[in-house]
Amino acid sequence: MNAVITGASRGLGLEFVRQLAGRGDRVFATARDPQTSKELQSLISKHPDRISAISLDVTSEASIRSALQQVSAMTESIDLLINNAGVLLGMSAMKDTGQADRLGRLTMEHGATVMMTNAIGPILVTQEFLPLLRKGKHPRIASITSGYGSLAHTSTGNPYHYKASKAALNMYMHGLAVDLCSDGIISVVINPGWVSTAMGGSAASLTPEQSVSGMVKLIDKLTLQQTGGFFDWQGHEEPW
């Protein structure tokens, strides 16, 4: 299987690279500056024939097009696109640090950055890579969302920009599912759970290995009947 992963230099993205390459898949690991990730470079050294590192800034259309050109030079098709790149400004997922994403401190600049990275970027990446997905075997688009993107999980507005961006991502990817169903391309959004990453913090209940292992099992078993779904990392349906 050929897989493109965004935000692959650390956290969940890096763990996707580790698990997919470890089982023999061909992985195109993208990040803003993949050369600075020692962990990613270590994986490439271990699997040089399976992992290619590609520079991709999801907030730059020129960077997205450049990444597509680089991937297209190495393969005619991809079977899986994992939209994982994301940002949460000024807060960990479960602990407010009193900064950018709470009521009273919201700014247009921060809102635009979060929305571009978490929602608009992923839909533009997907749009550019569609020609390769259309040539893939059982093509799937898995976009990493959050429980914060669910209207059913709103006990507080914080973190405002992050929540809104994940809700927007959910809508973008649900729309894709409708439009691409006739092409046989599956699009789902997945809540990875509360994971111990730079974003989730050390107190989180899941390790990246646990979360990604569950998500990979879900992705592998996806059928066209499930396209447009919102799932947790264990494959259970989530409320919108």
Q: What's the pTM?
A: 0.93
pLDDT of residue 161: 95
pLDDT of 98 > 80? The answer is no
In this structure, is residue 237 part of a structural domain? no
Question: How many other C-beta atoms lie within 10 A of the C-beta of residue 108?
Answer: 7
Tell me the per-residue pLDDT of 116-141, one tens digit each, with 9 for 90 and over. 999 999 999 999 999 999 999 999 99
In a domain, 240, yes or no: no
Mean pLDDT of the chain: 93
239, part of any domain: no
Is 181 domain-assigned? Answer: yes
- Nearest partner of 238 among 114, 142, 148, judged by Cα: 148
Residue 14 in any domain: the answer is: yes
Contact 188, 231 (CB under 8 A): yes
Domain for residue 38, yes or no? yes
Asked if residue 55 belongs to a domain, the reply is: yes
User: What's the number of domains the chain is made of?
Assistant: 1
| Domain enclosing residue 70, as ranges | 2-232
Q: What is the pLDDT of residues 81-94, one digit of tens each?
A: 999 999 987 644 44
Which CATH number is 132's domain given?
Answer: 3.40.50.720
pLDDT in tens, 14-38: 999 999 999 999 999 999 999 999 9
DSSP character string of 4-49: EESSTTSHHHHHHHHHHHHTT-EEEEEESSGGG-HHHHHHHHH-TT
What pLDDT shows up at residue 210?
Answer: 96
Q: How far is 216 from 89, CA to CA, in rounded Å?
A: 27
In a domain, 25, yes or no: yes
